[in-house]
Structure 1
Amino acid sequence: MTPQIEELNQRLQELHGRTQDTPIYNPVFQLGLELSRDLESGRKSLKDIDGLVSALECEGLQARALKLDRMLEPLDAGENLAAFGKRDGEDFAAYSARWSNPMLHIVFTAHPTFLLTPAQSKAVAKAASEGDAKGDNVCTAPHERTQITLDSEHDAAMEAMSRAQAARDRAVRHIYETAKENWPGEWKTLKPTPTRLATWVGYDMDGRTDIGWNTSIRYRLSEKAERLTSYAAMLAALAPDLSAKLVNAAKHAGDMAALFGKDMGDPAALSRAANSLTANHPDKMISLGPVIEELEKLAGDADDDTAIEFLTAAAAMRADGLGMGWIHFRVNSSQLQNAIRRRLDPESKLDIASQAALNAIRTAIEEIQPLDSNFAALAIESSTAIRQFLAMQQILRHVDADAPIRMLIAECEQPQTVLAALYFGKLFGIEDKIDVSPLFETETALEHGGRFLDALLAEEEFRKYAKMRGRIAIQTGFSDAGRFVGQIPASLAIERLQGRLAEAMEANELTPEHGADVAALIFNTHGESMGRGAHPVSMKDRLEWPLSPWARRRFARRGIRLEPEVSFQGGDGYLWFGTPELALATIARIAENPPGECDPDVPTDLFYRRTDLSLDFYRAIRRVQNMHLVSATYSRAITAFGLGLLNDTGSRRSRRQSDLSADRNMSLRQIRAIPHNAILQQLGYPVNVIAGFGTAADTNREEIAEMLSESERGRQLLRLLRSADALASIKTVAAYGELFNSAYWASRPYRGTEEHLTDACLTLADYLTKDDRTGVFRRLASRLRVDALHLHRLLDAIPGSREAWGVPIPDREQKRRSIGLLQSLRLALLQHMMLKIVQVPVFSRSNDISREDVMEMVFTLRIDDALAQLRRAFPTSFPSIDDYAIDEPSDYPDGGDQGYEVIRRDYIEPIERAYALVLRISTAIANEFGAHG
């Protein structure tokens, strides 16, 4: 910690002390004012602020590395490989069964969470891996951001998956070595798959229009080439002929990927690519079955060490197929509904939610005649949903015939939508290779999800399909659920929905008791932050939070095999696999806490026995969360700065484009879940985690306190809550509102303290008399304060909740101080920008953009737009008279007009530099929270 940071820390503590005498005193805003005065007086420069931000950035990166280290320790390879050993009393049959099915499917998704630069990500991962999380090496990575593209996201996903594959190979070798030592006559019959990998990067069409069908084909082929190359490397020294065959197949796949990277709008280019891929070729490989058989035969004849290498390669092939892992296509339910209407209801007379529509789809599925297609059909198809099915057909036919493909359906709230997907799967002859998976995430889906599952599993066509596939797949999402329901109510609603799936499977005779071998594949798409469903306290909590032991027991007691699946989202999620050491530690922690296992005979947790308390508690929290969601106060506060407090963290747009008027009235539904959560972090209070918990307990505090303290699920809820509360500051929320306080600006130069700012302050004071944001933030802060008081009364009623069993928050006070300083620095920078913009000379109205519009752009942090307008109004690059070869002399221009260089230097450039620092502060704050959004 630098001396300057230590000095500011002490000052902030002094200011906090004043709240004892004046409870409404705001130390964060006061320190921001003091820093602002230093900046505007020249006692500090933007360069000085840059130095302070850099020091705090360093602390944030160290905090990120420390969290990785804390969640994953130990990182010693020997200790981690021990997680894949033999359990006491385990025989070969049990050992084989334990590893023959994946303990977890790991999905690498690309939601916009690429907060850190690639260099920062590598530095954080390296520091955590080497036990140097508190060292300065983590801080040397450059912070300059580069543009994030779909290709860069895909490259990052492939790098993380490659490290996950290598870690799994190490685990598989250890599984074989353990079996060889304990069961020397049987070990070669093992077929372990400890984890399965998948990705939807480049295949997720929900909410985006920038992914063409050829993008998905190109990625699938490039992934095939990469994986075949790595298979070949595993066998190069042991089976050179087989390795050479895989190398040739990899080159063929790479050549095909290059062809599909051309402009597929050109019929000639498309025809060449399609004909090349579909033609018979000696190096074309669409199944690894023969290769796996050959490897197992070679293992049977080899010495033990060589056999382990052959069998490890075969296990990798069984797990991943002809790609880096399985792939997930994703569409929106509306896209599927539009597609089925085209086939069955071209005049749009049917209500898709009606019984008549259900009957029509049933009949169509029964009478369907499969259709063939080719790449030309794919190229001319206009329907997004049908295009995905055509792409899947071509992939299964010409890229990988073995690996199934997931079809995820977002916002799926009706059985008709799932049956529509089955219709298209059957229409194109791929229903036996796709797993249709509805997503339950919206308020409606969570509320009515149980009835949805009852109705869906009652459909004969769906039951036949489930038995054929051997699984029923559903997806439960925590991002939108956490935004619209609140993270804790969402988690409780999701576990009830998971339990309803077990009940529906039993009621519809899809359990072993009825002779059905159907697994339940539950894909929990949470993110890395507590606002997106990732429990931050321990890996055990993280793995249990989205699929609780209670929900697991609902399946175990019915004999239903679980296939748990979870996402690791974007740059935040890939950090868990950022180095070989971290990747191995991650899958070792999963092996120690297998998400599909539970003891079905343990007594029911008190949280579920006392449903008279827990259900009322859940509903009360949800009511508070809903109150915020529908409140104009909450919406206006969250959108007060638009998305200007956030860095670009992905290739998918965070919201729809809108004009200035729309920005002033932005709806929360215009903002995606991750940016919404990220704004809450930046404003200082994770409302969608904390709000309502205290209020919900107020009428029955003692009984709820007892239930939470005696229940493991209750203690887990409290650990999540305490982690969020440890980083939260209602004073910070209130401080942002004071930026728009007309009285503050009118009073700031009072008594001649800052006379040079008098005109600027008065301009701001006058302009902001009609602004509503001060009142909005004050009202929100008041509501949060009342709720927080109830929360702390509840915590005080729970013995030991803050220390003993609650798992202390590491470096809590240092984190709070760092966040407080970052917020105060940002408040000073925002004031600097506001003062600068009102001092810019008046310029003429151009293209319907006035000076007031540009001011509002700055106030809502649309800085790039504002700077573009200012540069147009005050250009510094002009034609020079010396550019012209004119014979006649001229004395004009005489140098009396210096142009606008001074305006650019004194106003435009400081706003630009200040905003760059604002965004760096955003990264540092998110690092203290442990993830973006």
Structure 2
Amino acid sequence: MARGNRQACARGRRAVSRVGELTERLQHIHRRTEETPLFNPVFQLAHEMSRDLEAGAMSFDDIEAMVAELEVAALEERARRTRCMVAPIGEAANEKALADTLTAPSFAAFKASWEVPQLHAVFTAHPTFLLTPGQYAAVAKAAAEDGPIDAGVVGGERPQVTLAYEHERAMRAIAHAQDARDAIVAQLLDHAREQWPEEWRELAPVPFRFASWVGYDMDGRTDIGWATSIAFRLAEKAERLARYVASLEAIDAGHMLLGVLRPALEEAQAMAEAFAGDLTDPARLSEAANRLTAQSEHRLTSLTPIITHIEREAKMAADTDYAVRLLTLAAAMRADGLGMGWIHFRVNASQLHNAIRRRIDPEGTLDLASKGAVKHLREAIAKVRPHRTNFGALAIEASTAIRQFLAMAQILHHVDADAPIRMLIAECEEPATVLAALYFARLFGIEDKVDVSPLFETETALEHGGRFLDELLAEEVYRDYARARGRVAIQTGFSDAGRFVGQIPASLAIERLQGRLSEAMAANGLTDVAALIFNTHGESMGRGAHPTKMADRLDWALSPWAKRRFARAGIALEPEVSFQGGDGYLWFATPELARATLTRIACLRPAETDAEAPTDPFYRRTDLSLDFYRAVKEHQQDHLASRTYSRAITAFGLGLLNPTGSRVSRRQGDLSADRDMSLRQIRAIPHNAILQQLGYPVNVIAGVGQAAQNNYEELGALLAESARGRELVRLVRAANALASVKTVAAYGELFNSAYWASRPYRGTETQLTAACEALSEYLVKDDRVGVFRRLASRLRVDAMKLYRLLDHVPEEEATPHREEKRRMIGVLQALRITLLQAMFIRAVSVPAFSRANDVSRDDVLEMVFTLRVDDALAQLRRAYPVAFPRLDRFDLDEPADWPDGSDEGYEAIHRDFIDPIERAHALSLRITTAIANVFGAHG
């Protein structure tokens, strides 16, 4: 009877084959949650599609067509979000928007506002190159023109994301940013010309500086050699000189300075070519190095004389339009120097520790965290005298950290003598680490051109960062260095901070640390230098960038409260943020988007603040806000320490994710099995990306509801009254609008032995009986179904408390297209779970093969269950080759009757099992990209 009802139901429901029907079906079955709270509509839809697929009512071609349709819709959603963040897009609209903000009372005030950067923008990399070049171009075009996405951009081959590819994309984005900055500089000069006709030629605007660490960041990787960094810097020099030449030719095709810049360009191109090859051969290195270091009348290592000449000419020019164009070029040269922008080297604190021990503690007896180490370093810095270096010294140096200093020295001596270089130190938790960097900078004679910047990102670094800054700035040798450089530079990061304490506690801890920096600078008499604060974040809410509007994005990295602390102390502020990887470069993917992005930032003036603004209630009511911070942080830390959370996040290993960068996603040296994978072995970006793919941004949302327990009204009132509080809530609402606890639970049901045992129950799907029984037997002891259920339960309890809190915080504006996006994600998730079921069924149906190379059939099954599909397919293809070696390949005189031709390859096994697994996995990864696009970025 039950079987007959099922067949009748199947006949009555036409096979789902289009996205619209899937969406309608998902909405319909979602209503059943009112009757049965434990009912899971995402898994139910996946179950129905799985039955249709296995019965032949749906094919992989049908699924691919639906995935393609959803991919296009997700790209269009991404384009819409991009446009909303930076609109208006048109040139005229942006000119008017900036003009409306140019209200300085005097030329002196205007000059002071625009001759220091409103923002330093750093084009960073890491694994966030989610889309193909064609898809990025399509999204950018759709965002700029408010148009549709061409369906032809989905389904193509993904390029291998190499370091060279990342560098090329970074340079392209920076080039668009440079052009946009030129347009803004020209508008500033035009405005000054109209308002102050007697003084305007004295204006030297630098509204933005650009930088990159692509090719210079050694933290967490060993694949970037010193030659890579030198080659990139020379290539950047050649590219920038070419752009300067083009700009000057457009101003005056016969300008006398072209006689200097063109030969300098040819020289730079030759040097870039010389260093682009393999320099492991000492003879080749010697040839290239000798040419670079030799005296040459055409080589430029400083633009200072050229800038002086251009500005002098502009001041004398009768044609003011001509003068504006000259001063715009001079402004670009002053901002970028002889490169596409400034560069950031980055090393890990441990690498510096290893290097400094060789100099001051060869016996390894000194504790670098002790005051004794600081004393030793203080004395060492006082005694050290600069050492000359050459490329040979660089080539033979074994220490990673020392190699970075040697490379910086060669760049400053022979490539660009003017542009300073940042030395970022990851996991820097002791002042001695910074002093070690100062020691090497002085040892190699580059102390006056290197900004040493400690990174505060780990929980320990943020918690003890105030003490760190107090101790560091109390050191006279550091204060002398900071005054010589004109700035104190620090870096705060949302990456590991957001992973280990949650994004909201990370933001609050970071701004407290920034406030402590202002106090330490004031206490140590450093109000005469600037505070350069680099806030590294990514593009999505999980990575640290606020997703709602540009004003929130800038405030999230450096809050108005923190900025007022510096303003009241009389300390100039240089804010710096990152635009990370392909996702971040999207804001600069076209000249129009770059112009709109920089105009929004210029209008918001992130380097400025009202020092007299009243204190936000969030900072006055610390009895509430501090408890809120601590409670959210503790909840996030409980998740991180929980075996349940760790097991759920690593249940599929990294198999849900596409490769999106040249840096590995798991930390080097990982030998643990997937079952025992630690969250600390997975880098922050893939960790955040997995949360998106499982359907719930835990590190953004979790704990906010729990923190409000028993105090909903009072905390809700504070958050509603406070600008900072409303910003926090906007982030939570944006994340929650895309979150689904039901989806988290649905992934656990894939490992539910009872589900697989029940599928062919009472005579349904009899063709799957053997496969389902095998899956049920294999998974009966698997822990993942329980893990996902426990995690979903905890998330649900916290979410219910969050909804109660949000009832007391009026929503400022509805989240655009909220339900449309939720339904899109729900259908994508159901399709992927369908594909995973197809993979499981086919993997368990492959005939048993003998154990070989220490790999058994169960090992292959576990590879599939953890989505190490490429590894599993390699083993299956080895076990079941399509063709055997042929006898006619040999030229033998002796005849043979064997083999007699009856043997054939395992084409049927490939057709029925191996190839479908491969195709299902490829479609699953396309769904990964679509989901990430709805979230706004990868990770």
Please give the TM-score of this superposition, normalised by the length of structure 1. Answer: 0.97
Check conservation: 2:263, 2:298, Cα contact below 8 A.
Answer: yes
- Structure 2 partner of 1:871: 877
- Answer yes or no: is the 8 Å Cα contact 1:727–1:816 preserved in 2: yes
Tell me the SS of whatever aligns to 1:32. Answer: helix
SS state at 1:834 partner: helix
Equivalent residue for 2:826, pick from 820, 830, 833: 820
AA aligned opposite 1:30: Q
Mapped pair 1:351 → 2:351: no
Alignment of 1:115-514 (within 5 A): 115-132=130-147, 135-137=148-150, 140=153, 142-237=155-250, 238=252, 239-302=254-317, 303-511=319-527
User: What amino acid does structure 2 have at the position aligned with 1:916?
Assistant: A
1:123–1:139 CA contact under 8 A, matched in 2 = no
Which residue number corresponds to residue 70 of structure 1? 84
Using the TM superposition, give the Cα deviation of residue 226 of structure 1 relative to its aligned residue in structure 2, in angstroms. Answer: 0.2
2:3 aligns to what?
none
Equivalent position of 1:739 in the other structure: 750
Q: Is the 8 A contact 1:58 1:139 kept in 2?
A: no
| 1:898 aligns to 2:899 (yes or no) | no
Whole-Å separation in 1 of the counterparts to 2:258 and 2:927: 50
Please give the alpha-carbon distance, in whole angstroms, between the structure 2 residues aligned to 1:186 and 1:721: 49
Q: Is 1:16 the equivalent of 2:16?
A: no
Shift of 1:299: 1.4
Q: 1:929 aligns with which of 914, 932, 935?
A: 935
Structure 2 residue 755 is matched with structure 1 residue 749: no
- Distance in 2 separating the partners of 1:660 and 1:143: 33
The structural deviation recorded for 1:885 is 4.0
Query: Counterparts of 2:847 and 2:870 in 1: how far apart (Å)?
Result: 19
Q: Which runs of 5+ in 1 are unaligned?
A: 512-516
Cα 1:897–1:661 change in 2 (3 A) is: farther
Native 8 Å contact 2:104 2:110 kept in 1: no
Q: Please tell me whether the aligned partners of residues 120 and 138 of structure 1 are also in contact (alpha carbons under 8 angstroms).
A: no
For residues 174 and 711 of structure 2, what CA distance do their matches in structure 1 show?
A: 48
Q: 2:707 is aligned with what amino acid?
A: A
- In structure 2, the residue matched to 1:514 is none
Q: What is the SS of the residue equivalent to 1:439?
A: strand
1:650 to 634, 650, 661: 661
Residue 69 of structure 2 is aligned to residue 55 of structure 1: yes
Mean Cα deviation higher: 723-732 or 300-309: 300-309
Aligned to 1:45: 59
What is the alpha-carbon distance in structure 2 between the residues aligned to residue 898 and residue 460 of structure 1? Answer: 80
Structure 1 contact 84–588 (Cα < 8 Å) conserved? yes
Report if the CA contact (8 A) 2:138-2:149 is conserved. no
**Residues in 1 aligned to 2:802 and 2:861: alpha-carbon distance in whole angstroms:** 40
Tell me which residue corresponds to 1:856.
862
- Tell me how far apart the structure 2 counterparts of residues 894 and 367 of structure 1 sit (CA, whole Å): 85
Contact map agreement 1:694 1:789 (CA 8 A) in 2? yes
Among candidates 770, 795, 815, match of residue 759 of structure 1? 770
Q: Take 1:520 and 1:657, find their aligned partners in 2: how far apart are those partners?
A: 34
Give the aligned partner of residue 817 of structure 2: 811
Cα distance between partner residues in 2 of 1:415 and 1:323 = 31
Matched residue type, 2:905: G
Find 1:32's aligned residue among 38, 41, 46: 46
Comparing 77-86 with 224-233, greater Cα deviation is found at: 77-86
2: CA distance between counterparts of 1:746 and 1:465? Answer: 70
What is the CA–CA distance in structure 1 between the aligned matches of 2:233 and 2:110, rounded to whole Å?
Answer: 34
State the shift of 1:182 in Å.
1.4
CA contact (8 A) 2:748 2:787 kept: yes
Aligned to 1:608: 619
Shift of 1:896: 3.0
Give the TM-score normalised by the residue count of structure 2.
0.97
Single out whichever of 569-578 and 886-895 deviates more from structure 2.
886-895
Q: Which amino acid aligns with 1:816?
A: R
CA distance in 2, matches of 1:45, 1:612: 59
Is contact 2:118-2:606 (8 Å) kept?
yes
Q: Which range moved further: 885-894 or 343-352? A: 885-894
Partners of 1:341 and 1:884 in 2: CA distance: 63
Matching residue's letter, 1:438:
P
User: Would you say 1:6 and 2:12 are equivalent positions?
Assistant: no
Match of 2:529 among 518, 532, 555: 518
Identity %: 67
Q: Secondary structure, in 3 states, of the residue corresponding to 1:566?
A: strand
Contact 1:120 1:142 in 2 (8 A): no
Runs of 4+ in 1 over 6 A off after TM superposition: 657-660
**Aligned partners of 1:232 and 1:244 also within 8 Å:** no
1:577-624 CA distance string (max 9 Å, x none): 010000000001101112111111111000000001000000000010
Equivalent position to 2:123, from 88, 96, 108: 108
**Counterpart residue identity of residue 921, structure 2:** Y
User: Kindly tell me: are residues 922 and 720 of structure 1, through their superposed partners in 2, closer, same or farther at Cα, counting changes over 3 Å?
Assistant: same
Structure 1 residue 40, shift from structure 2 partner: 0.9
Contact 1:61–1:139 (CA under 8 A) maintained in structure 2? no
Shift of 1:658: 7.3
Q: Is the 8 A contact 1:202 1:211 kept in 2?
A: yes
- Aligned ranges for residues 625-636 of structure 1 at < 5 Å? 625-636=636-647
Cα deviation, 1:456-490, whole Å, max 9, x if unaligned, reads 11111111111111100000000110000100000
Asked if the contact 2:123–2:212 (Cα under 8 Å) also holds between the matched residues in 1, the reply is: yes
Q: Is the 8 A contact 2:409 2:444 kept in 1?
A: yes
- Secondary structure of 1:191's aligned partner: coil
CA contact (8 A) 1:857 1:866 kept: yes
Q: Is the 8 A contact 1:529 1:932 kept in 2?
A: yes
After superposition, the Cα gap between the structure-2 partners of 1:309 and 1:89, relative to the gap in structure 1 and judged at 3 Å, is closer
Q: Deviations over 1:218-256 (max 9, x none)?
A: 000000000000000011141443224212212211211
- SS for the counterpart of 2:542 is helix
Using the TM superposition, give the Cα deviation of residue 656 of structure 1 relative to its aligned residue in structure 2, in angstroms: 3.6
CA distance in 2, matches of 1:87, 1:179: 10
Quote the RMSD (CA, aligned, Å).
Answer: 1.3
Report the Cα distance in structure 2 between the residues aligned to 1:642 and 1:3, rounded to whole angstroms: 31
Partner of 1:697: 708
Asked if the contact 1:123–1:141 (Cα under 8 Å) also holds between the matched residues in 2, the reply is no
1:79 paired with 2:93, answer yes
Correspondence for 1:620: 631
Distance 1:889 1:664, change over 3 A: same
Q: Report if aligned partners of 2:17, 2:62 keep a CA contact under 8 Å in 1.
A: no
Shift of the alpha carbon at 1:139?
Answer: 5.6
**What residue identity is the alignment partner of 2:678?**
S
CA contact (8 A) 1:120 1:143 kept: no
Distance 2:152 2:816 in 1: 20
Q: Which residue does 2:651 correspond to in 1?
A: 640
Aligned partners of 1:83 and 1:591 also within 8 Å: no
Gapped runs of 5+ residues in structure 2?
1-15
> What aligned pairs does 1:534-683 form with structure 2 within 5 A after superposition?
534-656=545-667, 662-683=673-694
* SS of 1:241 mapped into structure 2: coil
AA at the equivalent of 2:424: L
Matches of 1:360 and 1:884 in 2, distance apart? 74
More deviation in 287-296 or 684-693? Answer: 287-296
